[in-house]
Structures are given as C-alpha cells and as structure tokens.
Amino acid sequence: MAWTPWNTSWTTEGAMPRTSSDAPVVHRFADRRAAGRELAAVLRRQSLGTQLVVLGLPRGGVPVAEEVARALRAPLDVMVVRKIGFPAQPELAIGAIAAGDIVVHEPSSLPYGSVPQVEFEQLVQRERLELSRRERLYRRGREPLRLAGGTVVLIDDGIATGATMLAAVRASRAANALSVTVGAPVASQEAVSRLRGEVDELVILETPPTFLSVGEWYEQFTQTSDDEVRNCLRRVAKGH
C-alpha cells in the first residue's frame, strides 16, 4: 500500500489517485529532524511486520532515518547509493547504483539525448569507488545489518526522480528482505509512480503537484556532513 495523509492515496495495484477539492496547501518542513518526527509518527501506525531494520540513504536521509529508528525502536544502518548524473548536468539523474552491483539505468529520462553505454559504464565505475569509500567511512569496519528475512524501512529526506531509491529497493530485495517499505517526507508524483509497484509499503507525507527540488520543501536544508551520518548511527546503536 502507498499512503499519504493529505489528499491523495495510491495502491501498488495501480489504482488511480483520489483527490479532494478542499485539499490543504502542501507545507514545508522545518528541517530534516522535524520531518523525521512527522514521518515516524505515521510509520508507527502502519503494520510493518517484525524484525525491522531502518536504513537511511546518505547523507541527507540519515538524520530523518534516525528519528524513524528511534520511534520504531529499530536498529539503524545506511543504504549507500550513488546517483549517476548526466555529464553536462550532474544533478539530473540518469541512473543510480547500490551495494550488491545494483545498477538502475534510465536513459529515457534524458531531455537532451542519450548517453552512450560506454560512457555510462565509466560513470558507474567512478561512482562505485565513491560508494565503497562511503561504506567504509560510515561503518568503520562494522558489518552491515542483516536484511534477509526482515522488514527493511528505507528512508530519505525527499525523493525527486526515484532513481536512487529504486536502486536501494532493489539492493534490499537482492539481500533477501522479506518486505520493503519506503518512507520520505516529500516526493515528486513521478517518483511515487515509479516506486509504487516495487515496494510493499510507500509512505510519503507530501506529493506536491510541482516539484523542482527536495530542498524547496524545507525551511532549513543545510548539507549533512559525513560526521553527522556517523554520529546518527552511533547514537542509535548506543541507545542515546
């Protein structure tokens, strides 16, 4: 099931959205932690199953995921994913990668023409090096949490195209997760459409009709540092 608290609901079976004529204006979140607390309050009311593992997408998704993990009393880890950006416009995703050699390639998303496959593979190889570096940096020798047979809750601070989250979902499936829930404070309607057939639960607080960037839906949207990611993981692990 895909869920939103305001004016629209989707199902993974592809039902059309139901809208209300008196739908409230989409609101902005104060910061990632405030958004995480709002998202956590909703996720606590869902029937997510047992053996929960919360995975934040670094960097910005991890502070949100920390609030969710605390509310669900679940362990917290990272799902390191890397966007593959269009060479002339790196912020435009043409794919993504995740652990386990998961590659999502979306050449149809390009308005400027396709990237040759050879060039795409070169971009993938470069991002794999950064993905490995970040996994070592964040875990510092600690093994990833076991996902097999459990319920994985993937959290990000927002979902624009859905490419990186789709890679995270498929990596969770490849790790034999029993079920996969995706949660985010805000997402584009395009991303919701892309993800709803891939997950067991999709919980999005806001799906604005016009979506330019994740940051526009936050009052404070400063960059999350690597140190903050590590501190989030450490606090939850120690129960602080």
The residue-averaged pLDDT of 148-157 equals: 97
The residue-averaged pLDDT of 196-206 equals: 96
Query: What's the pLDDT at 50?
Result: 81
* pLDDT at residue 12 tops 50: no
Q: Mean pLDDT in the chain? A: 86
Sequence-distant (6+) residues with CB within 8 A of 189 are 207, 209, 211
Query: What's the pLDDT at 101?
Result: 86
109 pLDDT tier (thresholds 50, 70, 90):
low
Query: What's the pLDDT at 108?
Result: 55
* pLDDT at residue 187 tops 90: yes
Query: What's the pLDDT at 131?
Result: 92
The residue-averaged pLDDT of 153-166 equals: 95
Highest averaged pLDDT of the listed ranges 21-30, 123-132, 182-191? 182-191
The residue-averaged pLDDT of 181-186 equals: 98
The residue-averaged pLDDT of 154-161 equals: 96
Q: Where are the domains of the chain?
A: 27-80+145-238
Query: What's the pLDDT at 21?
Result: 34
Query: Higher confidence at residue 117 or residue 66?
Result: 66
Tell me the residue ranges of DSSP E strands in 59-175: 76-78, 81-86, 89-98, 102-105, 151-155
pLDDT (tens digit per residue) in 71-105: 999 999 999 999 888 887 787 778 899 987 899 88
Sheet-wide strand order for 2-3: 2-3, 201-206, 179-186, 151-155, 52-56, 76-78
Range with lowest mean pLDDT among 20-29, 136-145, 180-189: 20-29
* pLDDT at residue 13 tops 50: no
Query: What's the pLDDT at 18?
Result: 31
Q: Per this entry, what is the length of the chain?
A: 240
Q: Please name the CATH architecture into which domain 27-80+145-238 falls.
A: 3-Layer(aba) Sandwich (3.40)
Q: With pLDDT > 90 as the criterion, what percentage of the chain qualifies?
A: 67
**Dihedrals phi, psi of 46, to nearest 5 degrees:** -90, 155
How far is residue 93's CA from residue 183's CA, in Å, rounded to a whole number? 20
* pLDDT at residue 7 tops 60: no
**Whose structure tokens read 């794999």?**
128
Query: What's the pLDDT at 117?
Result: 85
Query: What's the pLDDT at 224?
Result: 97
Assign 2 to helix, strand or coil: strand
